[in-house]
Amino acid sequence: NIEKKSIALSLEYNFLYQTDITDCYGSVYTHSLSWAIHTKAVSKNKRNYGDLFGNKIDHHIQAMSFGQTNGIPQGSILMDFIAEIVLGHADYELSEKLASALKGRKFHILRYRDDYRIFVNDVSDGDTILKCLGEVLLNLGFRLNTNKTYFDEDVVSGSIKKDKIEALKFEYVPKKLSRKELLRQLLIVQQIGKQFPNSGTLKNRLSKILDVVKSKDFYAQERIISSLLTDIAYNNPNSFPVIAGLISNCIAKLPNKRQKEMVSLIQSKICMLANIGLLEIWTQRMSIGLKFKLNLNEKLCKSVYGDTQQIFETGWIKDMKIKNIIDSNVCIDKKIIAKTKAKIENKEVQIFSPYNY
């Protein structure tokens, strides 16, 4: 855990700098993959597809993006690994640069993906490291995010995310809720979401509520709780899977007609947002369990309804067997859809157990 390591380093260092890379995945220069694996000098002399392994990776990533040389897809472990190849190369370049720029000086740098934490005992050393880091990253097509570059004289407090510090004002979610306490806990989540949208603290607190809430806690306040949860989702879209689980629990005891009305109202609210593919998928999950159809725009949702269309861009795939499998939409299992229940189980939305902060 980078925060725990940062706190431990407060024994040795007095100052902390934090920064990250602007649009990291979207800025990855595909040619830099070959540079990182084979060095830039070798890569520039061997540019053909078959010359170097790095060229092959470069070629296929470009093909996935219609030939563009900037940016890699986000969301998969494979792409995390590919980004790490380039960022690891940047680490090496930075180490070489600092070996001469700060020879004999004491400092420590932690990196987690595109987030950097720099520990020093002299402010001028921190400034030097930031300058060298900026130069190394620029050479690879990256830029430091000036809006997220901070300096802190309190290493311990600076090591902890602001949303976690804010959460210290509130007690833990109790193991048993009452109707009144459930509302209070959701209002706490709403306020955290206003100040720290899509934060880990918010999602962790929602997961804890999902773990302990009972059907009786929703009784006679289904409308207000659904409205509150929808408001939280509207301002924190990344939390929608857990919120969908809570909403399905909330309306589970209502008559089917009222359940459908509630889900339709939620869908009408979230459709005002941009880029709502994930939200539509989870809204459809609720509607499938209730055995009714919503008018949705997400391609994957339409395919579930039998509207055959190409979900993924496959023109770049040369292997026809793989291409045909992807184009056939075999990812949709009608048997599982037919068995889908109205209530969303915790295991559907909590792939990993929530951890304590």
Taking the model in full, what pTM does it have? Answer: 0.81
Rounded to the nearest angstrom, the gap between the alpha carbon of residue 243 and the centroid of all alpha carbons in its chain is 16
Residues 242 and 339 grouped into a single domain: yes
Domain with 123 in it: 2-29+70-160
- Are 243 and 107 contained in the same domain? no
* Residue 221 identity (one-letter amino acid): Q
Q: Are residues 99 and 143 in the same domain?
A: yes
Overall domain count for the chain: 2
Cβ atoms of 201 and 164 within 8 Å: the answer is yes
Whether 59 is covered by a domain: the verdict is: no
Q: Is residue 311 part of a domain?
A: yes
Instruction: Tell me how far apart the alpha carbons of residues 84 and 260 are, in angstroms, rounded to a whole number.
Output: 45
201 and 136, same structural domain? no
pLDDT value of residue 143: 96
Phi-psi region of 240 (alpha: psi -120 to 50; beta: other; left: phi over 0): alpha
Q: Is 15 in contact with 152 (CB distance < 8 Å)?
A: yes
Q: What value does the mean pLDDT of the chain take?
A: 92
Residues in CB range of 235: below 8 A, 6 or more apart: 193, 194, 197
239 and 342 part of one domain: yes
Examine residue 38 and state whether it is found in any structural domain, yes or no.
no
pLDDT at 309: 73
CATH no. for residue 24? 3.30.70.270
User: Is there a single domain that holds both residue 128 and residue 173?
Assistant: no
Asked if the structure places residue 303 within a domain, the reply is yes
Inside any domain, residue 58: no
Q: What is the pLDDT of residues 187-236, one digit of tens each?
A: 999 999 999 999 999 999 999 999 999 999 999 999 999 999 999 999 99
Same domain for 155 and 181, yes or no, is: no
Which strands make up the sheet holding 15-20, listed edge to edge? 107-112, 115-120, 15-20, 150-152
Candidates 30, 15, 44, 176; CA nearest to 108 is 15
Is residue 228 within 8 A of residue 189, CB to CB? The reply is no
Asked whether residue 139 falls in the same domain as residue 172, the answer is no
Does residue 279 sit within a domain? yes
Co-location of 16 and 93 in the same domain: yes
- Let me know whether 122 and 236 are in one domain: no
Rounded distance, CA 169 to CA 215, Å? Answer: 28
Q: How many CB atoms lie within 10 A of CB 195?
A: 11
In a domain? residue 45:
no
Question: Of the given ranges (102-116, 130-144, 164-178), which has the lowest mean pLDDT?
Answer: 164-178
Classified as helix, coil or strand, 353 is coil
Tokens of 291: 């055995």
User: In this model, does residue 357 exceed pLDDT 80?
Assistant: no
The confidence score (pLDDT) of residue 218 equals 94
| 139 and 266 fall within a common domain | no
More confident call, 160 vs 356: 160
Q: Of 94, 127, 160, which closes a domain?
A: 160
- Of the three residues 142, 160, 178, the one that is the final residue of a domain is 160
